[in-house]
């Protein structure tokens, strides 16, 4: 989806998929992951729902305080997810039901502990909103590359809670950013499938799924099932 010239105000609207199950004995806390693309009807909904699905598969619960949501820099407020995006999620066994698009608001960035964007342009737009977002905003593929370079043994154990582990992961990734650059300009991009046939949507879904796998493994300390 090609965005018009920036200058239109970020619209209103709110939709967050809150994953509030906590582990026994741990304080009630949360860690909010915000996925960002352009229209919030293709890439970011796929990434949001695949993240939730993967966390639930690894932990057997809905995430120990993780909150996973998405928005668009030119979001289609109240719009349903694209039908091909729904099909991609169904292919992976994830649930597309109940999704509605929204435009990115300042409050979404303020509340987010980790912002993962589809492209470098989205990352720049999020950071330009301020709110000290630079150290917690990455493209999805950039974050994956950084996470792959982090020794899991240096992260807090799962017994300390997913929230504690997630915060440590973001700090470690931010510290590595200047030392581990992308091999090419395109390496950190997830291209827009809006208006494309299902085959292209599926290829983008595969890209997102592959990028998310090491991220969710690092967050949960649990690898994907063979």
| The predicted structure's pLDDT at residue 26 | 35
Whether residue 106 is predicted with pLDDT greater than 90 in this model: the reply is: yes
Split at pLDDT 50, 70, 90, the class of 226 is: low
Split at pLDDT 50, 70, 90, the class of 18 is: very low
What is d(CA 115, CA 142) in angstroms, rounded to the nearest whole number? 12
Question: Which of 40-54, 73-87, 150-164, 175-189 has the lowest average pLDDT?
Answer: 175-189
Split at pLDDT 50, 70, 90, the class of 4 is: very low
Average pLDDT in the 172-182 region?
A: 90
| pTM (predicted TM-score) | 0.87
Are the beta carbons of 73 and 94 closer than 8 angstroms? no
Query: How confident is the model over 150-174, as pLDDT tens digits?
Result: 999 999 998 999 999 999 999 999 9
| The predicted structure's pLDDT at residue 15 | 38
Are the beta carbons of 82 and 46 closer than 8 angstroms? no
- Domains in the chain (CATH in brackets) are 31-220 (3.40.50.2300)
Residue 183 burial (CB < 10 Å; 0-12/13-18/19+)? exposed
């Amino acid at each position: 989806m090609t965005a018009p010239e920036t200058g239109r105000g970020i619209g209103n609207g709110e939709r967050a998929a809150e994953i509030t199950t906590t582990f026994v004995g741990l304080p009630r806390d949360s860690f909010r992951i915000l996925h960002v693309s352009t229209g919030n009807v293709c890439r970011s909904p796929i990434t949001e729902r695949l993240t939730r699905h993967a966390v639930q598969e690894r932990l057997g619960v809905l995430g120990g305080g993780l909150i996973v949501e998405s928005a668009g820099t030119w979001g289609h407020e109240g719009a349903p997810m694209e039908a091909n995006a729904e099909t991609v999620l169904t292919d992976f066994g994830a649930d597309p039901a109940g999704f509605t698009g929204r435009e990115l608001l300042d409050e979404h960035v303020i509340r987010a502990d980790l912002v993962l964007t589809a492209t470098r342009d989205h990352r720049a737009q999020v950071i330009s909103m301020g709110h000290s977002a630079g150290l917690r905003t990455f493209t999805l593929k950039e974050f994956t590359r950084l996470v792959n370079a982090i020794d899991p043994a240096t992260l807090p154990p799962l017994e300390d809670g997913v929230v504690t582990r997630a915060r440590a992961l973001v700090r470690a990734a931010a510290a590595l950013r200047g030392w581990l650059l992308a091999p090419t300009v395109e390496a950190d991009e997830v291209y827009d499938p809006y208006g494309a046939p299902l085959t292209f949507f599926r290829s983008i879904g595969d890209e997102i799924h592959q990028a998310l796998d090491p991220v969710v493994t690092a967050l949960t300390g649990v690898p994907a099932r063979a």
